[in-house]
């Protein structure tokens, strides 16, 4: 299965444009498997340094995880303030505390106006962005969360450090 949506302005990217390997994650902020994958990604970034670029796209499973959508929209809201990764990390690092109040507190902690966040969530200002991420994922064969793509190729093995680092290493050499 290959990733069908190329990187664009809409994406949140960490790492160098010249990196040999791009790791794309489709994730859900309320999904416990994604919560466990979060430190794995951090470790991979440390391990591969400049040779790895990381992209996170939203794939909220809303029927199962009612807070996944507001969390995704809150991260997109933060992105418009240049604070996407602060929000992203803050949510995954405190996943068990996830609530609308928590998102509001996290926004405030990172220097954003909680009322502006509440307005954005209320008006669905970032709903379309999240939906576009989701449908792009569906079209690329995302079949659950987290789903990783390494240089566009879906990683079907377990999303653990060993298997991901092995696949990244292979892509780096390839």
Partner 1 sequence: MALPAVGAPAPDFTLPVTPDQTVTLSELKGRPVILAFYPADWSPVCGDQMALYNEVLPEFHKHHAELLGISVDGAWCHAAFAKDRKLHFPLLADFEPKGAVSKLYGAYHSAGFSERALFVIDKEGVIRWSYCSPVGVNPGADGILEALEKLSGEGTHAA
Where does this chain bind partner 1 (CB under 8 A)? 1, 28, 31-33, 59, 61-65, 131-132, 134-136, 138-145, 156
Shortest distance, position 57 Cβ to partner 1, whole Å: 13
Shortest distance, position 113 Cβ to partner 1, whole Å: 31
| Residue 153, beta-bridge partner list | 2, 150
Using the minimum distance from each CB to partner 1, give the nearer residue, 54 or 59. Answer: 59
Residues 6+ apart with CB under 8 A from 68: 28, 29, 30, 31, 60, 61, 62
Q: What angle do CA 65, 69, 74 make, to 5 degrees?
A: 135
Using the minimum distance from each CB to partner 1, give the nearer residue, 15 or 60. Answer: 60
Using the minimum distance from each CB to partner 1, give the nearer residue, 69 or 86. Answer: 69
Using the minimum distance from each CB to partner 1, give the nearer residue, 132 or 165. Answer: 132
Shortest distance, position 17 Cβ to partner 1, whole Å: 26
Q: Give the SS3 label for residue 170.
A: helix
Phi/psi of residue 145, each to 5°? Answer: -125, 140
How far apart are alpha carbons 27 and 33 in whole angstroms?
A: 9
Shortest distance, position 112 Cβ to partner 1, whole Å: 28
């Amino acid at each position: 299965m290959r990733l069908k949506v190329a990187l664009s302005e809409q994406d949140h990217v960490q790492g160098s444009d010249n990196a040999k390997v791009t790791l794309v994650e489709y994730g859900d902020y309320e999904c416990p498997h994604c919560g466990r994958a979060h430190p794995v990604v951090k470790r991979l970034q440390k391990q591969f340094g400049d040779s790895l670029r990381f992209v996170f796209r939203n794939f909220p499973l809303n029927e199962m995880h009612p807070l996944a959508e507001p969390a995704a929209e809150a991260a997109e809201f933060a992105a418009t303030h240049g604070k996407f990764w602060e929000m992203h990390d803050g949510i995954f690092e405190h996943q068990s505390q996830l609530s609308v109040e928590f998102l509001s507190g996290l926004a405030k902690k990172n220097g954003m106006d909680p009322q502006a966040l509440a307005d954005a969530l209320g008006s669905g200002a970032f709903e379309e962005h999240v939906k576009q991420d989701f449908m792009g994922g569906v079209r690329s064969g995302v079949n659950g969360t987290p789903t990783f793509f390494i240089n566009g190729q879906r990683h079907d093995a377990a999303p653990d450090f060993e298997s991901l680092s092995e696949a990244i290493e292979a892509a780096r050499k390839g």
